[in-house]
Amino acid sequence: MSEARLISLTVNGETRETLVEPRRLLSDVLREDFALTGTHVGCEHGVCGACTVLIDEKPARACLTYAIQMEGHEITTIEAVSDAGLSPLQRALHEEHGLQCGFCTPGIVMTFEAFLRDTPDPGEEEVRDVLSGNLCRCTGYQNIVSAVMKAAAEMREAAGD
């Protein structure tokens, strides 16, 4: 096990320093060192998607990433999404009842915040395809899919205005 090193990470636009062992996972550093506990850990082996954050605006698994690799990259977590009130996607999840226990929800929000930016007019198939990277044990996915479709429509409308 090698020595801890002082690294600086840019998280939600803020640069913070922390002392980490090279093997420390990004998910643990976010949750434990920075108290950003909205990033959840559901499997720690890259399947469930609960730990999804954005690295340089692209969705990535925080549980498969070492914090030490993240110097020079921009990390965005769920806590930054609602800076200006609920995002259209968060609002749609609420309105469409797209969450029950909510444990999977931050990972789903992060996945689709990025997706909808790149794909403003997705089809339902495509949404299901992308959503297959996030496990949800409560909802059966149907309402999450309708929430994403609704958010997309709303965002298109807002962009058109």
Partner 1 sequence: MTETSKFHYIGKPLPRKEDRRLVTGHGRYLDDIIVPGALHACFVRSPHAHARILGISAEVAREMTGVVGVFTGTDLARWTNKLRLAPPIEGLHPTEIETMPTDKVRFHGDPVAIVVARDRYIAEDAAECVAVDYDVLPPVTSIDTAFAPDAALVDDSLPSNLVSHQTFSAGDVDARRKEAHAVVEASFYQHRQTHVPMETRGCAVLWDPGREHLTIHIGNQVPHPLRSQLAGRLNLSESQVTVMSPDVGGGFGQKIALYREELAIAALARHLKRPVRWREDRAENLMSASHARENLCRTRASVTENGRILGLELELAEDFGAYCFYPANYMSRVVAMIVTGPYRIQDYAFEMKVALTNKCGNGPMRAPMAITSWVMDGTIDAIARQLDLDPLEVRRINMLRPADLPYRMATGEVLEDITPSETLESAVNAIDYEAFRKRQRALRDQGRYVGLGLCTVVESTTYGSAFYKSAGIPGSGHEAAWVRIEPSGTVNASVGLGGTGQGYETALSQTVAEGLGVDPSEVKILTGNTDVAPYGMGSRGARGGTAGGGALFLCARKARGQVLQIAANKLGLNTSDDMRLLDGQVERLINGEWTATGLTLADVARNAYLDPTSLPEGITPGLDFSLTYDPPPMTYSNSTHACEVEVDVRTGALTILRYLVSEDCGTVINPVVVRGQQQGAIAMGLSGALLEEVIYDETGQNLTATFADYMVATACELPNFEILHHHTPNSRTPAGIKGMAEGGVMGAIGAVTNAVNDALAPFGTVADRQPLSPQYLRSLLRDRGAAARQNEQE
Does 129 sit near partner 1 (CB under 8 A)? yes
Q: Are strands 5-11 and 14-20 parallel, antiparallel or unpaired?
A: antiparallel
**How many CA within 13 A on the CB side of residue 140?**
3
In 31-158, where do the E strands start and end?
Answer: 52-55, 58-61, 74-76
Q: Under DSSP, is residue 3 helix (H, G, I), strand (E, B) or coil?
A: coil
Does 116 sit near partner 1 (CB under 8 A)? no
Does 77 sit near ligand FES (CB under 6 A)? no
Partner touching 77 among ligand FES, partner 1, none, CB below 5 to 8 Å by kind: partner 1
d(CA 12, CA 81): 9
Does 103 sit near ligand FES (CB under 6 A)? yes
Sole window of 77-85, 99-107, 109-117, 147-155 interacting with ligand FES (rule: CB under 6 A): 99-107
Partner touching 61 among partner 1, ligand FES, none, CB below 5 to 8 Å by kind: ligand FES
Does 97 sit near partner 1 (CB under 8 A)? yes
Partner touching 152 among partner 1, ligand FES, none, CB below 5 to 8 Å by kind: none
d(CA 84, CA 135): 28
**How many CA within 13 A on the CB side of residue 56?**
5
Residues at the site binding partner 1, with contacts judged by CB under 8 A: 1, 21, 23-24, 28, 31, 35-45, 47-48, 50, 77-79, 81-82, 86, 90, 93-95, 97, 99-106, 109, 127-129, 131-145
